[in-house]
């Protein structure tokens, strides 16, 4: 089904250099994508992910990738305040997903280690990431559209994270 053309606007008026009609269309598309992929309910994909939010998953993934991280590294990588990180770590610790450890890198700091439950969550999250990406790509008509979307999302992500 061809996309409905957006109405033309004479000049950007939102202060961000984008046509307000285009901003509205993007907003609607992003919300529809979130709903369509059920990102607000990850446990609808895999019960292992029940009750986890994006910050929780970010902490778990970073600890899995680099067990030598200290809490400050995680806070910086996720861009969250200390209080948010502390609350999330305490919650994950109470749920038996990770445990605090003395850092081998800096004895004055805490590190984190995943439990067996935490490692199961990592595997479930990695598998879900692959399924979600495949579903989005499968929703497009051809390889050219898939590559274009992937390239554009990558470009936007790099710029939003300050990497471009």
Which CATH number belongs to the domain containing residue 74 in this structure? 1.10.10.10
Residue 16 counted as domain residue: no
Q: How far apart are CA 44 and CA 37, in angstroms?
A: 10
Residue at 142 is within a domain: yes
Residue 15 burial (CB count, 10 A): 6
As a whole number, the mean pLDDT across the chain is 88
pLDDT reported for residue 109: 80
Alpha carbon distance 19, 138 (integer Å): 29
How much is the pLDDT for 1? Answer: 47
User: Does 8 map to a domain?
Assistant: no
Q: How far apart are CA 164 and CA 8, in angstroms?
A: 28
Q: What is the pLDDT of residue 4?
A: 52
Residue 117 resides in a domain: yes
Residue ranges in the chain modelled with pLDDT below 70:
1-16, 164
Residue 25 lies in a domain: no
Q: Count of domains in the chain? A: 1
Determine the distance from the C-alpha atom of residue 107 to the mean position of all C-alpha atoms in its chain, rounded to a whole number.
Answer: 30
Instruction: Give start and end residues of each alpha helix (H) in the chain.
Output: 20-36, 54-65, 71-78, 82-94, 116-138, 143-160
Q: Give the domain range for residue 94.
A: 52-146
pLDDT of residue 149: 96
- The answer to whether residue 113 sits within a structural domain is yes
pLDDT attached to residue 33:
92
């Amino acid at each position: 089904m061809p996309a409905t053309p957006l109405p033309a606007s004479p000049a950007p008026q939102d202060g961000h250099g984008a046509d307000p009609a285009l901003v509205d269309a993007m907003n609607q598309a992003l919300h529809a994508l979130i709903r369509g992929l059920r990102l607000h309910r990850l446990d609808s994909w895999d019960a292992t992910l029940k009750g986890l939010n994006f910050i929780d998953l970010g902490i778990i993934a970073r600890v899995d990738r680099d067990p030598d991280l200290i809490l400050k590294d995680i806070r910086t990588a996720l861009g969250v305040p200390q209080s948010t990180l502390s609350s999330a770590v305490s919650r994950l610790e109470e749920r038996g997903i990770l445990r605090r450890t003395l850092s081998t890198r800096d004895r004055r700091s805490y590190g984190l280690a995943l439990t067996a439950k935490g490692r199961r969550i990592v595997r479930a999250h990695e598998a879900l990431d692959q399924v979600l990406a495949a579903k989005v790509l499968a929703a497009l008509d051809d390889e050219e559209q898939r590559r274009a979307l992937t390239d554009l999302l990558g470009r936007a992500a790099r710029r939003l994270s300050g990497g471009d």
